[in-house]
Amino acid sequence: MAKSTESLLSFIVLSIISLLVSRSDGDARSQVIKMYCDGELQNNQTILVSNFVRTMEIVGAEIQTSHNATIVVGTGPNSNYALAQCYGDLSVQDCILCYASIRTYLPGCFPLNGGRIYLDGCYMRVQNYSFFEQYTGPNDTIVCGNTTRESRFFQNSTSQAVVNVATSVLRNSGYFAREEMIVSGTNKSVYVMAECWRTLSPDSCRECLVNASTSITRCLPWSEGRVLNTGCFMRYSNTNFLNPVPAISSSSNKGRIIAIVISVVSSLAVLAVALMIVLYIRNRRYIQQKRKGSYDVEKMAKILTDSSLNFKYATVQKATGNWDESNKLGQGGFGTVYKGVLSDGREIAVKRLFLNNRFRAKDFYNEVNMINSVEHKNLVRLLGCSCSGPESILIYEYLPNMSLDRFIFDEIKGRELSWEKRFEIIIGVAEGLVYLHENNRTRIIHRDIKASNILLDLRLRAKIADFGLARSFQDDRSHISTAIAGTLGYMDPEYLAHGQLTEKADVYSFGVLLLEVVTGMGNNRSKTIDCTDSLLSTAWKYFKKGTVEELFDPNLMMHTYPNIIFQKDAIRVVHVGLLCIQEAPSLRPSMSRALKMLAKDDEPLPAPSNPPFVDEKTMELNSTTQKLLHYSDGDDSNSVATISHSHFFPRYTDYSFGCNLSFWTFVRTFLSLFYHVATKFLMSLPRTSKCLALENPASRAICSNSSPNSKKIVYFSPLTFFGVLFKRFSVATEKTVKRLYHY
């Protein structure tokens, strides 16, 4: 069976590669020259992200036909103003390939409210305000190639060619011009091109080009130079980077060729996906049969319905004012939380879960039983649940002071938490985790310890909340193998790399939390386009230099009397935090040991070793992989991959399959990735009226998706289609394989 499946996979891969190879007389010039991200955070991330995704889809459709797109999506501070433009010598397929690179890199600016990116073949800018008439700005710059110094004759020819091109741009309706000029007395040539954005007026374009012509000469005598202005782009070089004039190809059989190719690829993909689904279902049934303590869903539902834990759905709905938005407290990875008031006056917190289907029912009931089995002063108390209505609902005690992150990360509210109160919170969290890890009835790993999951009661005492990712842990097992879930920046390296879950995962998260409480800085709150040091790396550097006091939260006022007497205690907390985040799990203390270190200030502490991700060379900015991790969670329905809020990933040098990475995992990820990328791409393509040409039902369904009565089909060059699809699939596959092989 394995050999036949490997043969099928090899056939599919070879077929895809042979179909995706496309020829082009030009170059997409998709190299990134410069990218800027704004310095302000978004006003509403949920709305702005939705608008951004819609913007990118519309731009992708328009740029295929007009070489440029000007889009406005949304209103107010959450709107998206977008300008994208391919340079005039790019063919249609090269323009699409260049824009595919933009779609890969520009989302890296999230969660900032805008950014711009310059490539050698295209340009795009997205903001939450109108900028279409701007032609100059503070970010205007030049980029010079410093590999070769050219002669005075080359410099003179370059200056003349720049003037000629700047003059020619205004004569062309597309605001584009290029020139090749032979350098006098040599057999060399200089190649120059310039382009203004088409939203500019002729006068604005002229001003931008005048500025660019002056600026670009500063790159001389170097052999190459570029000007990246707000309203225009200019480049010269001693090598020919110019493409031939785009030619329009025609073929009477073009539509038929596309229909045949799409049918073949879709059939192979559907066949492969169907095979994977069958194998997955068989595997899941086997696991469910072996799982200890599993009960029939209907039986568990009856037990909860008859118990005191059960709340009627209508009662909960009435308590929240029919899910009134004014009662909404927040939203997490698994659901939305509302404040409610019962008829007897009790205030409650109601968690309305996102995942409401029969396949998650058993997990929901097991989770309720697990949370209800533990009770501690530092754990949020579960009052009940609702399992009789149309949704899965959890009811918790209401804590008016909300979560810890609203205090320590806020410049004003942070002053309400003195060092004594923060230390009391730290001890409370530690005691709660000790209870979860070491109680006699059920050992539990929380998996998502962070400031936003530490709630505060009226007296600002800590209570651990959100057990959506928690897992029970049996005494006879060294670890749990599970799909990766949690918040990046708080997840330990061995869990990220191999999916092996132990109590040391919570110890690592607790160590990160200690550093955040002392410094007032979030481990995942520094997001710029440049890779800056994480909180872990920064704390380690200051600890080695013996200057930890420089990291103290200014709200603690540790340098003034009487708070100065607490400096020693705060430094000790940082020391314990660094012990908890050591890369080797065997070196991290247990939670009971960490609690003892914090409580007994006279006990000597061992020296910590390097935390993970300290070396700048082992970090990379990678937001696309986060999305792929979210989509590839097919192995374990008990765990929903909710990777969020971080850009740093560890690299490992083991290129072989690990003990948790089977051949089937690779096959399943590879095929599902291709099918996802191909389907998304097909849905975004421009269409004409020939949908019935498709013989494959799946392809015809995709083609007709936009309208029930539609008779449409994707209708443009096969080279364009497969060129763009290959580009997208290659980028996505590279990042997924890196994740699978842990490097």
pLDDT at 290: 54
Q: Which of 120, 448, 506, 553 is catalytic?
A: 448
Above 80 in pLDDT, residue 223? Answer: yes
pTM: 0.47
Q: Distance between the two ends of the chain, CA-based, in angstroms?
A: 30
pLDDT at 674: 61
Above 90 in pLDDT, residue 404? Answer: yes
pLDDT tens digits for range 576-611: 999 999 988 889 999 999 999 998 878 889 999 988
Q: Are 19 and 261 in contact (CB under 8 A)?
A: yes
Provide the pLDDT confidence category of residue 529 given band limits of 50, 70 and 90. Answer: very low
**Stretch (H or E) spanning 115:** strand 115-119
Q: Are 670 and 10 in contact (CB under 8 A)?
A: no
Least confidently predicted of 256-260, 604-608, 657-661: 657-661
Above 60 in pLDDT, residue 557? Answer: yes
The annotation places the binding site for ATP at 351
Closest CA to 296 of 356, 372, 355, 362: 362
pLDDT at 276: 87
Distance CA 122, CA 87 (A): 6
Distance CA 291, CA 438 (A): 23
Share above pLDDT 70 across residues of the chain, in percent, rounded to a whole number: 67
pLDDT tens digits for range 19-28: 443 444 568 8
Radius of gyration of the chain (CA): 30
DSSP strand pairing (687-688 vs 393-397): unpaired
Distance CA 323, CA 339 (A): 9
CA dist list (Å): 695 to 143, 258, 259, 364, 678? 51, 11, 8, 43, 18
pLDDT tens digits for range 334-381: 678 899 999 999 999 998 876 555 445 665 666 677 777 788 899 988
pLDDT at 351: 87
Above 80 in pLDDT, residue 17? Answer: no
What is the arithmetic mean of pLDDT over 662-687? 54
Mean pLDDT for all residues in the chain? 76
pLDDT at 264: 82
Provide the pLDDT confidence category of residue 740 given band limits of 50, 70 and 90. Answer: very low
pLDDT at 47: 83
Domains of the chain in sequence order: 32-127 (3.30.430.20), 141-237 (3.30.430.20), 297-397 (3.30.200.20), 405-618 (1.10.510.10), 625-741 (no CATH)
**Stretch (H or E) spanning 56:** helix 45-66
pLDDT tens digits for range 22-65: 444 568 888 899 999 987 777 777 787 788 888 988 998 898 88
686/723: higher pLDDT: 723
Above 50 in pLDDT, residue 742? Answer: no
pLDDT tens digits for range 407-453: 999 989 989 999 999 999 999 999 999 999 887 677 888 888 999 88
pLDDT tens digits for range 59-88: 988 988 888 999 999 888 888 899 999 999
DSSP strand pairing (189-196 vs 471-473): unpaired
Distance CA 717, CA 600 (A): 73
The annotation places the binding site at 351
The strand ranges marked E within 345-464 are 347-353, 382-386, 393-397, 443-445, 454-456, 462-464
HSE toward the beta carbon, residue 122, CA cutoff 13 A? 32
User: Would residue 448 show up in a list of annotated catalytic residues for this protein?
Assistant: yes
Q: Are 548 and 571 in contact (CB under 8 A)?
A: yes
pLDDT tens digits for range 267-276: 888 888 888 8
Tokens of 46: 């949920």
635/523: higher pLDDT: 523
Helix (H, G, I), strand (E, B) or coil at 385: strand
